[in-house]
Chains A and B, each alone.
Chain A
Amino acid sequence: MALLLSVLEQGMIYGILALGVYITYKILDFPDLTVDGSFPFGAALSVRMIGEWGLPAVLTLPAAFFGGVLVGMCTGIIHVKLKVRDLLSGIVMMTGLYTINLWVAGTGYVPIFNKETIFDNEMVNSIVPSYLFQFKNVVIIFLITMAAKYLLDWYLRTKSGFLLRAVGDNDTLVTSLGVDKGLVKIVGLSIANGLVSLSGCLYAQQQRSFEISIGTGAVAIGLASVIIGTSLLRKITLIRVTSSVIIGSIIYKACIALAMYAGVSANAIKLITAVLFLIILVIGMDKKRR
């Protein structure tokens, strides 16, 4: 049971990250490495707010999201205004964010074990009976993840969202429609990194600590989730793409947890992940190449 709960919690937290990666990688067609920096940024901001500044945990959610939005805006500006290539803009931001995250958090490791988090605070603890405590985390994470997902779904059906979908597909059309495509890209990057940062914020509170290295490989996990979700669940039309991305994240985490439970050495896990990834990519190969 503990294993299942852990997989669901991690899967959904990283599911929000996967939503962000989905926006940049699939919709904007922009491989965004900023994620390795914006994920820990949300984490750093939330531990600073909860730890040193002693603010109520619920404020960390909007703070992390809008912090991530700012980060994404910077990446966008570097790419659009300074005309730096997509991959490189992300790398520049990711590198710079290492230092910024250290500043924001204070040091490379910040524990918040005895502070109130979004999962463990007066209000929540008073509502939930103690025998259900082990489900607290997963329910709260579920609610936040669903909220993020439905908001994103709604946004992608608005006029502004249509532009986002258009710019990754055919940016000439966006200009033909009289819209500054650079601005659309910046908006897309902002929203995506906002989600990633939110994910980092939840992660730090679930782990009750911030560690500077949690960002390393975050974009790879996000991509894996997106690809697993979209490849495996493509034919099932009842499931929206955003849901499939979150499910993909849960599947990914499940595979890793299972491998570890079965006694696979921690070192071998990365190789196994790569093989799993490859199998899934081949099974779900996208035949409709434009």
Chain B
Amino acid sequence: MLKLINISKNYNPGSVNEICLFQNFNFTVEDGAFVSVVGSNGSGKTSMLNLICGSIGTDYGSIMVNNEDITRQKGYIRHRRIGRVYQDPAKGTCPSMTILENMSLADNKGKPFHLGRGVSKGKIEDYKVLLRSLNLGLEDKMNIQVGSLSGGQRQALALLMASMTPIDFLILDEHTAALDPKTAERIMELTEYIVSEKHITTIMVTHNLRYAVEYGSRLVMMHEGKIILDESGEKKKLIQTGEIMDLFNKISVECGN
């Protein structure tokens, strides 16, 4: 379970360029939930993800994971129990290494990277099985450099790599935004499949309102660092894309966008 408690964060405090990101922001995610987060640019969605992952720190407040205070924990240490997929397919994989090598790397997350063999021969079959579930034919290309794969294939691989080891959360940062509609659809199906198979608590930031409505058990809309809509369970299932769109436009107009 994730809890963000009374988070406050300002950029450039005390100067002319001071931006208030969050003020007494609270957010809780229950285990097993699949939360979709939407909002306009600058609403704080990505900043919230960065706060959770440790890329930016808080000024005040705390972050608790399963009742453990991780506010002061360094970014890379938090990532041991987090899987993160970025918008840019290039960020989730290593282009100069092969698919097999990438998967071996991801498989070692959370464990020490010492002088043992990079690729465990015994695990190759396991990786093949995992790749087969993607239905992209990648299991036959395990020795090909990732750099030569298409954006969609790389993102699928990134998703797989992020969820290979046991993790507390899966953080999806607009992970379909850079893909064409058909590939985006595939990746969302894949996401749904992986999340339900492994029961991973997921937070997905997206600009695609339809995905936010169709996928996940909870819908959150953010605006200027605050949550203005938070529906889950039965109520969430009843929401239509059109409603969200209207709310979205209403806020945008208020801001003068």
CB distance from B41 to the nearest CB of A (A): 21
- Nearest-CB residue, chain B, relative to A160: B113
Interface flag for B213 (CB, 8 Å)? no
Cβ A170 vs Cβ B84 within 8 A: no
> Interface readout for B74-104 with A: 1 if CB under 8 Å, 0 if not?
1111011001101000111111110001001
Cβ A170 vs Cβ B93 within 8 A: yes
Size category of the B interface is 20 to 34
CB distance from B109 to the nearest CB of A (A): 5
CB distance from A29 to the nearest CB of B (A): 10
Cβ A290 vs Cβ B76 within 8 A: no
- Nearest-CB residue, chain B, relative to A182: B76
Which residue from B74, B75, B76, B90 sits with its C-beta under 8 Å from A170? B90
| Contact A178 to B79, CB < 8 A, known contacts A165-B94, A173-B94 | yes
Which residue from B77, B92, B118 sits with its C-beta under 8 Å from A157? B118
Q: What residues of chain A lie closer than 8 Å to B105, measured between beta carbons?
A: 159, 162-163, 166, 173, 177
Cβ B95 vs Cβ A161 within 8 A: no
Interface flag for A172 (CB, 8 Å)? yes
> Interface readout for A167-188 with B: 1 if CB under 8 Å, 0 if not?
0011011111111110000000
> Do most interface residues of chain A lie in helix, strand or loop, or is the interface mixed?
helix
Using a CB–CB cutoff of 8 Å, the interface residues on chain A facing chain B are 155, 157-163, 165-166, 169-170, 172-181, 288, 290
Using a CB–CB cutoff of 8 Å, the interface residues on chain B facing chain A are 74-77, 79-80, 83-84, 86, 90-97, 101, 104-106, 108-110, 113-119, 147, 162
- Report 17 cross-chain contacts, Cβ distance below 8 Å, ordered by A residue: A158-B114, A158-B118, A159-B108, A159-B114, A160-B114, A162-B118, A165-B96, A170-B90, A176-B83, A176-B92, A176-B162, A177-B109, A178-B76, A178-B77, A178-B110, A180-B76, A290-B147
